[in-house]
């Protein structure tokens, strides 16, 4: 199998956030920080974007250590760090997002596949193609099984 690196557009990350918006009316701060952070990334305001995404993480953590908001926020924040080539900061966030996602939704959920795909991109970017292919293959299998 050949793994091909593709850069995910910021609107795809925003879709991650939007998919949860209707389920959580009580978390306006988390959603507001996340949305504003993604908008700042799109405008190229990277310092502001990081501050907003970190604020989203802090707010998400108030819901408990394994709350789905944390998994989603960590996935977005890791994607930000990956995009700005801060790979050492991105990887532990992907690992944590994956662990929380698997615990919350189970190992074969589409949200798990999303984290796996993003983590696979990081691994490919850092020269760990074999590991990237393994994660990408698992994500592909999840997506096929849930069609």
Within a domain: 139: yes
Burial (0-12, 13-18, 19+ Cβ within 10 Å), 6:
exposed
Within a domain: 128: yes
- Between CA 16 and CA 2 the distance in angstroms is 26
Within a domain: 5: no
Q: Which residues contact 136 (CB under 8 A, 6 or more apart)?
A: 1, 3, 116, 117, 120
Domain count across the chain: 1
Domain extent, residue 51, equals: 10-145
- Listed in sequence order, the DSSP H helices in the chain are 10-21, 28-43, 46-61, 68-83, 87-105, 110-125, 129-145
Position 16 scores a pLDDT of 53
Q: pTM of the predicted model, to two decimals?
A: 0.82
The 10s digit of each residue's pLDDT in 36-58 is 999 999 999 999 999 999 999 99
- Between CA 29 and CA 53 the distance in angstroms is 11
Within a domain: 30: yes
Residue 9 confidence (pLDDT) above 80 = no
Within a domain: 89: yes
CATH classification of the domain holding 132: 1.25.40.10
Within a domain: 127: yes
Position 25 scores a pLDDT of 46
Within a domain: 135: yes
The 10s digit of each residue's pLDDT in 92-105 is 999 999 999 999 99
Within a domain: 4: no
- Between CA 130 and CA 73 the distance in angstroms is 27
- Between CA 137 and CA 86 the distance in angstroms is 25
Instruction: For residue 25, give the DSSP letter.
Output: T
């Amino acid at each position: 199998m050949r793994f091909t690196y593709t850069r995910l557009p910021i609107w795809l990350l925003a879709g991650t956030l939007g998919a949860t918006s209707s389920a959580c009316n009580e978390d306006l701060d988390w959603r507001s920080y996340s949305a504003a952070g993604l908008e700042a990334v799109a405008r190229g305001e990277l310092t502001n974007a990081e501050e907003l995404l970190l604020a989203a993480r802090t707010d998400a953590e108030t819901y408990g250590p394994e709350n789905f908001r944390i998994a989603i926020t960590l996935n977005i924040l890791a994607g930000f760090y990956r995009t700005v080539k801060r790979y050492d900061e991105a990887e532990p966030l992907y690992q944590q997002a994956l662990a929380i996602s698997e615990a919350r939704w189970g190992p074969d959920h589409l949200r798990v596949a999303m984290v796996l795909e993003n983590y696979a991109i990081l691994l490919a970017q850092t020269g760990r193609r074999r590991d990237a292919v393994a994660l990408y293959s698992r994500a592909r299998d999840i997506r096929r099984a849930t069609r």
